[in-house]
Amino acid sequence: MNKSESTKEIFAALAKAQGEIKNAAFNAENPAFKRGGKISEYADLSAVLKEIRPVFSKHGLSIVQSPSFADGLVTVETIVCHASGEWISDISRSPVAKQDAQGIGSVTTYLRRYAAQSFAGITQEGDDDDGATGSGPEKINDEQFAKLNELVSASGADLKAFCSHLKISKLEDLSAQAFSTAEGLLLNKLKRGQK
């Protein structure tokens, strides 16, 4: 993460904002991804930003995202700015399986959504059919599952060995909390393979 020399005011504002921002509610379906016979649901970028922007603005915060594409990787730099002039930023990268406008746009939107959620300290949520939330550790969602499958394929990783390393029997058993670690391992393997 990169940051301005001083961060006192931006972190104080982020602490207040994160206490008020609600998780983004599922508002979209992706019929291309099914798990357990159910169509994948997720909160799209507009739903995520709808939760973040008003609260950020109330606390003098804004979010700026700058995407780019080179060498088969989409890169999105996300910058959170404060009215004081302080800022924090980080860069997210992902390979693109289908290197056309649709594929690049899809990965760009994915990275923007997850980066914005990360800075805001929120996630996506929906209810089970009976209206109750699930028990036990939250598992990766269908989109994260698809993303990891894509990275396994692109990096040439041995799925069985990868799951064993993560101490899970199958990829869909991965906890949502471990997603970033798993994604990072696969991105590093992919980068090593491109050299």
Res. 130: pLDDT tops 90:
no
Tally of CB atoms within 10 A around 130: 6
State pTM to two decimals: 0.66
Rounded Cα distance, 162 and 164, in Å: 5
Dihedral of alpha carbons 131, 133, 135, 139, sign: positive
Cβ(125)–Cβ(25) below 8 Å: yes
Q: What pLDDT, on a 0 to 100 scale, did the predictor assign at position 193?
A: 75
Residue 77: CB atoms within 10 Å: 17
Give the pLDDT mean for 115-136.
67
Q: Give the pLDDT confidence score for residue 113 in this predicted structure.
A: 95
Measured CA distances, 72 to 88, 92, 94, 98, 160 (Å): 26, 14, 8, 9, 26
Which burial class, exposed, middle or buried, applies to 87 when counting CB atoms under 10 A from its CB (0-12, 13-18, 19+)? Answer: middle
For residue range 89-119, what is the model confidence (pLDDT) as tens digits? 999 999 998 889 999 999 999 999 999 999 9
Identity at 163, one-letter amino acid code: C
Residue 132's pLDDT is 36
pLDDT tens digits for range 6-27: 999 999 999 999 989 999 998 9
Geometric angle at alpha carbon 77, from 157 and 68, rounded to 5°: 75
In angstroms, the CA 14 to CA 187 distance is 29
Give CA–CA dist 112/56, Å, rounded: 16
Tell me: pLDDT of 131 over 50. Answer: no
